[in-house]
Amino acid sequence: MNVMIVGVGGQGTLLASRILGNTVIDLGYDVKVSEVHGMSQRGGSVCTYVKFGEKVYSPIIDKGEADIILAFEMLEAYRALPYLKKGGKMIVNNQKINPMPVITGAAAYPADILEKLAAVADVTALDALTMAEEAGSGKAVNVVLLGVLAKNTSIDYKAWQTAIKATVPPKFLEINLSAFEAGYRLA
């Protein structure tokens, strides 16, 4: 299974991919998680890949190969569209973060992204930011989205909880578990 996680640097995509990676190794799969560090983390487009199965070679996902795309931001969801497998699932946080060319007026933020995506893909859109804030912190957007992802996989609920406990610092655990629960219940 190929999961692509896309968003804007600073949104917590890296932690999401690590939690997912840890969830699936506990189930005995071969796993590769490809991360982004360095300059692009500074507010740029970021994407991480999590691939698992019997045997995984390439850590990256090619065009038309992602079973699920977990998008933290709408424009980044749209940008990632070519990577989605035909019949694949897209889970999109409906947050809009203007990139600098839009802020400076050099480009326009595309209109009606969710509608355009829904015309060609199976899309679940949600307001993960509000849900995360309700769970106790806007920073938990990543775990809300993981909750939605969890519902779209056959992986047991408990395996996710175990991985979250193993990955998240103890003082943020409660917020993260309720953020996960919120995402899981939505889907």
Which residues of this chain interact with other proteins, rule CB under 8 A?
8-10, 18, 21-22, 25, 30-45, 56-60, 62-65, 75-76, 78-79, 81-86, 95, 97-110, 116, 120-121, 129, 138
CA distance 157 to 41: 30
Least separation in angstroms between residue 151's CB and other proteins is 23
Please, what is the minimum distance in Å from the beta carbon of residue 29 to other proteins? 9
- Torsion angle in degrees (nearest 10) through CA of 111, 102, 88, 41: -160
Angle of the 173-186 helix axis to the 128-135 helix axis, nearest 10: 140
Taking the C-alpha atoms of residue 34 and residue 21, their distance in angstroms, rounded to an integer, is: 10
Which is nearer to other proteins, 10 or 136 (by Cβ)?
10
Closer residue to other proteins, CB minimum distance, 80 or 149: 80
167: tokens are 């990955």
- Of 85 and 165, nearer to other proteins (C-beta) is 85
- Nearest residue (CB) to other proteins, 100 versus 187: 100
Residue 118 or 186 with smaller CB distance to other proteins: 118
Through-space distance between the first and last CA atoms of the chain, rounded to whole angstroms: 19
Q: How far is the CB of 59 from other proteins (least distance, A)?
A: 4
Identify the CA nearest to 47 among candidates 95, 88, 14, 85: 14
Label the pairing between strands 66-71 and 30-34: unpaired
Question: Whole-number minimum distance, CB 80 to other proteins, in Å?
Answer: 10
